[in-house]
Structure 1
């Protein structure tokens, strides 16, 4: 009987985990809370492009199509590339979309016992025969709950898993006393193009941070208002 593997997340890491689990003869089951694959590439800004060159950002067994000639593809080209990868290796049939994992529970030997083994499982097999993982999920469309038992769990959730990384402010010195609008980059990225433009147009904007999303948002604010209206 094939080992069942629970994979949480259908971004790039989740798709890779699914593909290689199949190659090893396992039975992967991928849970994705969104309605599509792609992870962070499902919600991007219209100006977003790869920050690394195309040859450095590709699957080792699935090169970019010849139709993508630019060295730094835009977000639509990246998303299409990821979808092509999933279709090429027939991964979509293993994914349950609109499904959120509510809990993961290990049913087996104690943590102390597992830690005492030279390798997890004690025999060089990362699965072993000593326990199972109990996964509770919710279908976000029907709100139905399902409990599934698997042999192994792989978490492919990304760095923050859709949770905004907000700084902590001293009392009386945070967004609650700011007269303007405070928005996290994740919320801004979820807006459609027209709404995003209208949100920043005609306003002086301060972008806090200097990573990829900050630079992309600064570019969009600059396009909407002119570069003198944006401060980083």
Structure 2
């Protein structure tokens, strides 16, 4: 009979320990309850031996100690995960995209580069016909850096790409400014041209400008 009572007591203690583990979810509370149980285990074992024996809960100190350790180790188990920061494009002031703008990884990455290198407009709809040099004001050193970023990101052949056809050279580069003289009015370099060059993995000026 006593043996049966011991098993019943053990099962009840384990059930209580499991219940505590499930109910106590706040990290701070799990920490303090865990510390209390870790300290209470040895105290019960050495200072309340007679009471434990008489109550037939010999496993109480061990279960208290183990439960306390489990709570301390897993104190952050139920901590609410902070939502990951939104994609940079979603943090942009406005993202007015035209319905005909493709929604594929290449266009998303291109828009991402535009956002990082140039900055997307606050109140302007982005279209395939949007010219990054005229409509978005990309020019000079910024344009050079942007085109290098596009070339590196998509690893496509620039072919007969002529930067001076679309952009003014950096103001500090006298040699390039001399080479750019006589190029006349700049030709629009559109998002559609960049997108098509990325999709075809090459730059053909006449084809891109005609299609654009």
User: Which category of TM-score, normalised to the shorter sequence, fits these structures?
Assistant: under 0.3
Instruction: Decide which structure has greater strand share.
Output: 1
Instruction: Decide which structure has greater helix share.
Output: 2
The one of the two structures with greater contact order (alpha-carbon pairs below 8 A, sep at least 6) is: 1
Structure 2 length-normalised TM: 0.18
Structure 1 length-normalised TM: 0.17
State which structure, 1 or 2, has the greater radius of gyration over its C-alpha atoms.
2
